[in-house]
Amino acid sequence: MTEARLRIDDQDAIRVITVHRPERLNALDSATLDALHAAADAAAADPSVRVVVLTGAGPKAFVAGADIAEMSALTPAQGRDFALRGQRMMRRFERLPKPVIAMVNGYALGGGLELAMSCHLRIAADTARLGQPEIGLGLVPGFGGTQRLLRLAGRAAALELCLTGEPVDAARALQLGLVNRVVPAAELEAETMALARRLATSAPLALRGILDCILAGGECTIGEGLEYEATQFGLVFASEDMREGTRAFLEKRKPAFQGR
């Protein structure tokens, strides 16, 4: 399936969304931002989709950044609007009620790292390089890089990556908490899809509750987060999946979750 500048492929309950601008190292221009936002909306609305995998076309790049040729002609007001456009798209993936896995197959720079950080999990090839090089263009990260780096890797790492603009290799990214796993490049797709399949067989309502709790908890006090967690815990007791999961445990069999 072709949608704007994306390739979309459904593999059972897993939707693979590939940014497909290999001639531009999958750079994010306005059309690609809009296509990604629409793809996130479609994945959220499709009950057959339980997990989303996001990646880039070609062997070189996940997403090498925002489209510099487009950005270079923007006015200050247009620049702010462009940043907000990118932020809204990335927030949409971050708030998707289904797990989103970034399969980082190469360069994830600038807007590419920002896109990867908006996903819930990140698996990187050992050849990947990640960074926020905007300082070298006289720019500030605009798609959420300063804020998500701060939350994922901490103040010191966020300052280092943004102030120097120097990318880090996959091993350092793992140390900083920017990625969850690093695997040999030849095994990246297999490892990512194995994780996606595992999540796709989990209880969808519980997955959604976990995503909600952790994301909300990062934006509120611990007291508010604990109250929210207790509410989500109580809500799943109304689900058939909770009954199925507990019965399967007691009967020593594998559960079959239906998302109800």
Measure the CA–CA gap between 100 and 196, rounded to whole angstroms. 9
Q: Do residues 170 and 130 make contact, with C-beta atoms less than 8 angstroms apart?
A: yes
CATH architecture of the domain covering 204-250? Orthogonal Bundle (1.10)
The pLDDT score that the predictor gives to residue 4 is 62
Element at 15 (helix H, strand E): strand 14-19
> Residue ranges per domain, the chain?
2-200, 204-250
Measure the CA–CA gap between 178 and 38, rounded to whole angstroms. 26
The pLDDT score that the predictor gives to residue 164 is 97
In a 13 Å sphere around the CA of 74, the CA atoms on its Cβ side amount to: 18
The pLDDT score that the predictor gives to residue 232 is 92
Measure the CA–CA gap between 206 and 208, rounded to whole angstroms. 5
Quote the DSSP letter at residue 21: -
- Ranges under pLDDT 70 in the chain: 1-4
Active site residues: 114, 134
Measure the CA–CA gap between 247 and 117, rounded to whole angstroms. 37
Per residue in 190-247, pLDDT (tens digit) is: 999 999 999 999 999 999 999 999 999 888 899 999 999 999 999 999 988 888 888 8
The pLDDT score that the predictor gives to residue 44 is 97
| Torsion sign (Cα): 117, 118, 121, 125 | negative
Residues 6+ apart with CB under 8 A from 72: none
Q: Which of 63, 80, 79 is nearest to 71 (CA)?
A: 79
For the domain covering 2-200, report its CATH number: 3.90.226.10
Measure the CA–CA gap between 170 and 155, rounded to whole angstroms. 19
CA dihedral 102, 56, 92, 33 (to 10 degrees): 160
Global pTM reads: 0.93
